[in-house]
Amino acid sequence: MILNNKNRKLIKILLFPILKHFRPGNVAMFHLGRCGSTVLAKMIQKTKGVYWHGEIFGKILRDVYKGNKNPIDAMLHEHDFIKSNFNNDLYWKEILSEIGADKNNIINKKYNKQIIKLILSYIKIAGINYYGFEFKPFNNKVLNLEIVDFINELENLGINYFIILDRKNRLRKIISSLIAHNFSDKWHYSPNDNVKRNNIFINPEKIEIDFDSKPLIDYLIDYDNKFNELNRILYSKSKLLKLYYEEDIQKDPNKAYHKVCKFLGVKMRSGGIPLKPTNPFPIESMVSNFEVLEAYLKNSSYEWMLYD
């Protein structure tokens, strides 16, 4: 009898109490988004001995939402959870509303235990392979899980490898996110795609990304605070890998991939780089009101990002 994927997963879940003892470890990668995480994830996914689950934020929301529905209603809404919806903020805001999130898109803490149980259920499907997933700092805010508590819970679940993928020029992350939201087909480019420059107008007093709405400077400060906190919590971990987009991915993603494989003790796969940079152009050429942005960040600690 040939087993389908569903049955294979079921067997791995049932055998988890045994198989977990043969697994080398479990991995959590924290990143900013729009920082080369997808190209790196696609490379890791092809690696023997690693079950890379990708970003689990959407999966968690989906499963919390379905858990609040009766089985028939959940089945009827199954069509909602298609890949094309996963980059649609309005779609996720509707899901958050159904879950009972507040006006700031933050769900009730009563779901904390359910979320941790869901992550454990994801971990079980990796069999004897590494299990790995990705998470962004704003995911913690939406799910109402403090980062320090979240990491403690992850360690209790058996997560023992941690990766921090950061981007020094976080202004470029913000602009890349805004472009992606304004041009729905501009999230990623495959190697054969023609990368086109997109032009957007930015109101620095009101930026709407990451399920939030606030001034640009507040995003940059918040990113600083969140990654400082991550580094403070994880710096003493014996199994910690720190990567930067500018140093490890921008010119050649194989550099980051090599570091991850060495970190986990697995063999790199051969093959090409699956994606190319999405917005490699000077910021001045992508922002129609660049002079406004320039004046807004003038004399701040983030001014250099405009010209990098």
Confidence of residue 185 (pLDDT cuts 50, 70, 90): low
Q: Any long-range contacts for 80-88 (C-beta under 8 Å, 24+ apart)? A: 86/58, 87/180, 87/184, 87/187, 88/184
What distance in Å separates the CA atoms of residue 45 and residue 132, rounded to the nearest whole number?
9
Q: Which two tokens stand for residue 31?
A: 């990143």
Sorted by sequence, the CB contacts under 8 Å of residue 136 that are 6+ apart come out as 30, 31, 32, 33, 55, 57, 210
Q: Fill in the DSSP letter of residue 3.
A: P
Per-residue pLDDT reduced to its tens digit, 92-124: 888 898 899 999 999 999 999 999 999 999 999
82 versus 35: the higher-pLDDT residue is: 35
- CA 95 vs CA 39, 63, 69, 88, 139: distances in Å: 27, 11, 12, 11, 14
Confidence of residue 53 (pLDDT cuts 50, 70, 90): very high
What distance in Å separates the CA atoms of residue 143 and residue 21, rounded to the nearest whole number?
30
Residue type, 55: E
Whether 190 contacts 278, CB under 8 Å: no
Q: Which residues pair with 52 in a beta bridge?
A: 132
Whether 221 contacts 297, CB under 8 Å: no
Find the mean pLDDT for residues 39-51. 97
Its CATH class, for the domain covering 5-306, is alpha beta
Query: What is the model's pLDDT at position 187?
Result: 85
**SS3 label, residue 133:** strand
Burial class (CB in 10 A: 0-12, 13-18, 19+), 180: buried
What distance in Å separates the CA atoms of residue 196 and residue 281, rounded to the nearest whole number?
9
What distance in Å separates the CA atoms of residue 303 and residue 109, rounded to the nearest whole number?
38
Query: What is the model's pLDDT at position 80?
Result: 53
What distance in Å separates the CA atoms of residue 118 and residue 64, rounded to the nearest whole number?
8
Residues 12-22: b if buried by 16+ CB within 10 A, e if exposed:
beeebeebbee
Q: Which two tokens stand for residue 224?
A: 């600083």
Per-residue pLDDT reduced to its tens digit, 63-90: 898 887 554 444 445 445 555 555 677 7
Whether the full predicted model's pTM is greater than 0.95, yes or no, is: no
Domain positions in the chain are 5-306
